[in-house]
Amino acid sequence: VAISSMVGSIYGFDNGAPAKACVTQMPGHSVAAQTTPNPYTIVVSATTYNYSNPQPITVTGTFKGLLLQARSTGSSTAPIGMFSSPPADTKVFNCTTTADSWTHANTNDKTGTTIITWTPPSINAGDIVFQATVAQEKDTFWMNTRSLEVKADG
């Protein structure tokens, strides 16, 4: 028991982002986010979305942890849509609704390009961005990593 709690304190949340990070995307690592240029990029496959068209979302760069959500470009912090087909070492989880967030499943390096499928909601949610906190290591993470804006189609 003592060993497992030491591992958790060394590596942070080694099996995914905590529920308390759903709104702020603050990982709770007891250190401030990096202020240096962000080495991570979120790439969207289209500039518009509609419900009949799930699309791949890509995070580029090597990282250990992340919390990624689709969010309204307005002031809302509620995740929009649903993620599926998480790649190795990652998983989807529920912040507000089923599979509305994507996170790490362990602290293995996720390298190169990591891709997941996102399905828009069944109603027009307005213009969105994909927003993430990405952790290179427990004490080295960047918040507010954002994709280009994706406009609602229709």
Identify the CATH number of the domain in which residue 112 sits: 2.60.40.4060
**Res 140 pLDDT > 80:** yes
Residue of 144 and 154 predicted with greater confidence: 144
- CA-CA distance, 65 to 91, in Å (whole number)? 11
Total domains present in the chain: 1
Q: In the block, which residue shows the tokens 């996102």? A: 118
* Domain extent for 108: 2-152
pLDDT on residue 29: 64
Tokens linked to 38 = 């962000």
Q: Is the dihedral of CA 97, 98, 102, 105 positive or negative?
A: positive
Q: Are strands 151-152 and 48-49 parallel, antiparallel or unpaired?
A: parallel
pLDDT band at 27 (very low <50, low <70, confident <90, very high): confident
pLDDT on residue 48: 95
**Res 76 pLDDT > 50:** yes
73 in Cβ contact with 129 (< 8 Å): yes
Per-residue pLDDT, averaged over 40-51, amounts to 94
pLDDT on residue 15: 84
Bridge partners, 105 (sequence order): none
- CA-CA distance, 63 to 70, in Å (whole number)? 19
**Res 128 pLDDT > 90:** yes
Tokens linked to 115 = 């891709």
pTM: 0.87
pLDDT on residue 12: 52
Least confident of 16-25, 58-67, 81-90: 16-25
Tokens linked to 121 = 């909601």
